[in-house]
Amino acid sequence: MRTIIHVIDSLGTGGAETLLVNANIRLSGFRHIIVYLRPPLDYVEQLRGVHIYCLNFNGWQSMPRCVPALRRFIKENNAELIHSHLYYSTIIARSACPRNTKLVSTYHNVLYDSRGSNYSVLYRWIDRLTYQSRFITLSVSEVVRNDLEKHIGIKKNSFVLYNYVEENFFNRNRLHDSNTIRIISVGNLKPQKNYRWALEALSPWLKDNSNIVWEIFGDGPERTVLEEIIRRNGIDNVQLKGKVKNVEDVIMHYKLFFMPSQWEGFGIALAEAMAAGLPCLASELPVFKEIAGNTILYFELNDGESLRKQMNWAIEHPSELENLGDGAFQRAQAFTKHNYCQQLRSVYEC
């Protein structure tokens, strides 16, 4: 049985981590080992029985220790394949990977463009320096792949493998109160998600439409700031709901999914809402166009007038809105877990 070592920055709750724990290490026919660079470790229950090893990485200064340690670990476990996720893990895995070992690296976000994480010149240089054309590079969208081609020069053995939506999201039995228009957003409370701007832009509109409730699920560093914006503007019909485990059950009780992000590598929350048949409104990002096509509503990024116009249209055209939800549901069939696992297996076995 072939051994795969998966290398990831941490095992804290996040999109890349969930993908690894719920799909990648579940592929049959392989022995799976996880190496994570540093705490936290949030997936204790899900990883029972899986060999896990921590490198205790604490920044660039620990590279001289971590790279040889990973190389030894690879050889000790006779690993034939390494799969790295996220920036630091990819740099360390490239540096440690023996010549006769296959390396697959997944990029989960736009790292270098100004409409993205906008990593520094130093980080770009290190990415270029450690890259070899023999390595296989997976991107979660064409937008991410184009970012790597433009800024790092990655062209050979570069492929798109879209994230997947869990099967229990594909549920058409939506329930919502027709008297209250409930809008849902799902995502960490951080600048990338653009909630601060959206709250300010929608405050007058929300105050004028007291029958509309906007509920935001997720937590993060901007929670206190968002709470202050809600209090200052007196928009009691906006609620920060915190983290939730059963998003697939919660999402069925809403009329509209709203995602005002400034950038995304893929947008798993949007794909999940589409799979649930929920009509969606999102910022007009190239990656959202790639995922959703013409099956959702868009507003111009950071344009308050455009956002309020689309919100009004959504509220005033319920039948057309539901038709969009039907189209989004059909579009989301491309993002099933079965499709993802089949394509990943092909990469591992090629």
Residue 347 counted as domain residue: no
> pLDDT, tens digit, for every residue of 247-256?
999 999 999 9
Residue 340 counted as domain residue: no
* 294 and 313 fall within a common domain: yes
pLDDT, residue 172, reads 64
Q: Of 161, 188, 209, which residue sits at a domain end? A: 161
* 221 and 119 fall within a common domain: no
* 156 and 179 fall within a common domain: no
CA 54, CA 92: separation in Å to the nearest integer? Answer: 13
Q: What are phi and psi of 152, to 5 degrees?
A: -110, -20
Rounded to the nearest 5 percent, the helix, strand and coil shares of the chain are 45, 20, 35
pLDDT, residue 342, reads 97
Q: Of 120, 144, 161, which residue sits at a domain end? A: 161
* Torsion angle of C-alpha atoms 7, 88, 93, 62, degrees rounded to 10: -110
Output the domain CATH number for residue 312: 3.40.50.2000
Residue 234 counted as domain residue: yes
Residue 83 counted as domain residue: yes
Residue 292 counted as domain residue: yes
Whole domain around residue 98: which residue ranges?
2-161
Strand order in the sheet with 136-139: 51-54, 30-36, 2-8, 81-85, 102-107, 136-139, 158-160
pLDDT, residue 245, reads 83
* 115 and 172 fall within a common domain: no
Q: Of 106, 139, 161, which residue sits at a domain end? A: 161
* 144 and 119 fall within a common domain: yes
> pLDDT, tens digit, for every residue of 202-239?
999 999 999 999 999 999 999 999 999 999 999 999 99
Mean pLDDT of the chain: 96
Q: What are phi and psi of 163, to 5 degrees?
A: -60, 170
Give 173 or 105, the one with higher predicted confidence: 105
* 157 and 15 fall within a common domain: yes
Residue 223 counted as domain residue: yes
> pLDDT, tens digit, for every residue of 116-138?
999 999 999 999 999 999 999 99
* 124 and 194 fall within a common domain: no
